[in-house]
Amino acid sequence: MTTLLHIDSSVFPGEASSSRSVAAAFRRTWQEQHPEGTVIYRDVAANPVPHITAAAWSAGSAAPVERSPEQSAAYAARLELIEELEQADAVLIGAPMYNYAIPSTLKAWLDNVILPGRTSGEHPSAQGTPVVVVASRGGSYAPGTPREGYEFVQNYLEAVLEGSLGLELDFIVPELTMAPRNPAMSELIPLYEASRKRAFEDASAKAKELAERIAA
């Protein structure tokens, strides 16, 4: 049986969130391919994981017998998240852009699961696991656009997911999501609609392709 780890981080619920909607389409197709599989779901917006603390950080490099009760409790919370990542055959992450970066709740999850000597370092424990990130954004930060230099979501996630965790990374990027709500962006609505359509098509195609590859 296969396991998909699905992380959502948008503050908006359901269809009000592009990242949630597109990620849900990916998950539906995945489950159609693996009806007997397992989905581990975390909504870090609705149920935030603890932000990293000194106790949680230092516990990662301390021997179990040397940890204080506070360190032991903090490490146990990190370990639960780490083991979910390690047991996943694939990972799906909804990562909307807020103020040019990922939500702090998603950053907190990453800070907990990146553990030098285990999930990061010379031999990351989840190395090679495929991860699909739905990186939605209200505008466009694609190469050649005026705000290209403000794109910190994909650059950052490439550094941590590929560079630190050794995951096999792929992006789906629904953009211009503010166009239907912002009168100043009304002329961009056709581009938004095309981007949204492409994102849903990519979600289904990538989910099916990845599910088939893992099952092979």
Per-residue pLDDT tens over the stretch 115-157: 999 999 999 999 999 999 999 999 999 998 989 899 999 999 9
Q: For residues 39 and 184, give the distance between their C-alpha atoms in angstroms, rounded to a whole number.
A: 40
Q: Is the pTM of this model over 0.75?
A: yes
Q: Which residues of the chain have pLDDT under 50?
A: none
Q: Which helix (H) or strand (E) holds 119?
A: none
Q: What is the pLDDT of residue 69?
A: 87
Question: Under a CB-based contact definition with an 8 Å cutoff, are residues 76 and 41 in contact?
Answer: no
Q: What is the pLDDT of residue 59?
A: 82
Sheet holding 130-134, edge to edge: 38-43, 3-8, 90-94, 130-134, 168-172
Q: What is the pLDDT of residue 64?
A: 83
Question: Under a CB-based contact definition with an 8 Å cutoff, are residues 58 and 23 in contact?
Answer: no
